[in-house]
Amino acid sequence: MILMRARTTVRLPETLMREVKRLAVESDRTITEVIEEALRDLLTRRHAEPDHRRVRLPTDGSGGMRPGVDLADRATLLDIMDSDGDSA
C-alpha cells in the first residue's frame, strides 16, 4: 500500500520547535513522526469528546420563566407541564 504524503510549511514558535526536536532525538524519531503523532492524538481526542455546541431551545417568546415557578420544585413543575398540555 502506497501512503501519500503532503508537503507543507508550518510556522511554529521557536520554543515549541526546540521541544519537538528534543523529543525526536530522545525518542529516535524524525520531526515529522513526532508532529504526525501529536496531530493524530489531538484529532483522536477531539473526535472522542462530546459535542458541546450551543443549542437554542424553543421558548414561548415571553423572555423568561413564568411568575411563581420554582425550578427546584420538581413536583410542581411536572404539574405545570401536565396542565399546559391539557389546554392545548
Helix axis angle, 31-48 to 14-26, nearest 10°: 100
C-alpha angle 19-13-15 in degrees, rounded to nearest 5: 35
- At 45, is the secondary structure helix, strand, or coil? helix
Domain total in the chain: 1
> What single-letter amino acid sits at 86?
D
Residue 34 belongs to a domain:
yes
Q: Which domain holds residue 41?
A: 14-48
Residues 80 and 84: their CA atoms lie apart, in Å, by 6
Count the residues in the chain.
88
- Classify residue 62: in a domain, yes or no: no
pTM above 0.85, yes or no: no
Q: What is the pLDDT of residues 40-88, one digit of tens each?
A: 999 998 877 777 778 877 776 666 777 777 888 888 888 887 876 555 4
